[in-house]
Amino acid sequence: MAKITERIRGVAVSPIDGLSTMVYILRCEGGLILIDVGFTPLCIANIEAELHDMCEKWDSIKLILITHAHGDHIENLQKVLELTDHPEVMLGTGDMEALKEQTGVETDMGLEQGDLIGACGGIEIISVPGHSAGNLTYYLREEKAMIVGDTIFGDDDGNLFTPPAKYSDDAEMAKREIRKLLDYDFDKLLLAHGKNILRNAKEEVEKLVNV
């Protein structure tokens, strides 16, 4: 668990295939936003512990944003919905069907490139297909932070990688689409898998896409 900024908390899930995994909680006006829900009971326990540390409860979560519909990011969704008080669930339109098939949950809204969520100073939607059809990155304007899900992978030493082919629908597309992030002003890169970069993150992404 980690306090990244006054608005952003990171919560450890569990390793998968040797990669650490994180979900994020945003403290916004009007309630909390949970980004991804993880896939293990340990993640549920860790989210609950983080909420307690924030002096919040499950029903403080008003919105769940999913980066993409792969199991390690969505398997806890039904459990989280049982614990919370009917938060909205949103993810990329290209992954809506996959989410329903895997979790039984109907999406309240599908998100597209350029959509804006008016919370936490503005959360802009960046569509980065390839890893999955509806893969998203969430750009927090005022925080200058990218919450990238599996748009970019990392390791515990801070090295960045494009999404591995074995996890991706189209690994070459996933690699090309990362370049979209460079159209935005950001300093922090918050990963689902790997060590977060909290300074000069845009420069590191530029290196990655120019390899």
For the residues 82-107, what does the mean pLDDT come to?
97
> Which pLDDT score, from 0 to 100, does residue 16 have?
65
- The sign of the dihedral angle between the CA atoms of 31, 8, 45, 151 is positive
Q: Where are the domains of the chain?
A: 2-209
For the residues 84-113, what does the mean pLDDT come to?
97
pLDDT, tens digit, for every residue of 122-164? Answer: 999 999 999 999 999 999 999 999 999 999 999 989 999 999 9
1 — pLDDT class (breaks 50, 70, 90): low
> Which pLDDT score, from 0 to 100, does residue 136 have?
98
> Which pLDDT score, from 0 to 100, does residue 21 have?
85
The residue ranking higher by pLDDT, 28 or 19, is: 28
pLDDT, tens digit, for every residue of 41-93? Answer: 989 999 999 999 999 999 999 999 999 999 999 999 999 999 999 999 999 99
Whether the pLDDT of residue 180 is over 80: the answer is yes
* b/e code 10-38 from CB counts within 10 Å (16+ = b): bbbbeebeebbbbbbbbbbeebbbbbbbb
Do the beta carbons of residue 138 and residue 125 sit within 8 Å? Answer: yes
> Which pLDDT score, from 0 to 100, does residue 17 have?
64
Do the beta carbons of residue 194 and residue 139 sit within 8 Å? Answer: no
Q: Which CATH superfamily is domain 2-209 in?
A: Ribonuclease Z/Hydroxyacylglutathione hydrolase-like (3.60.15.10)
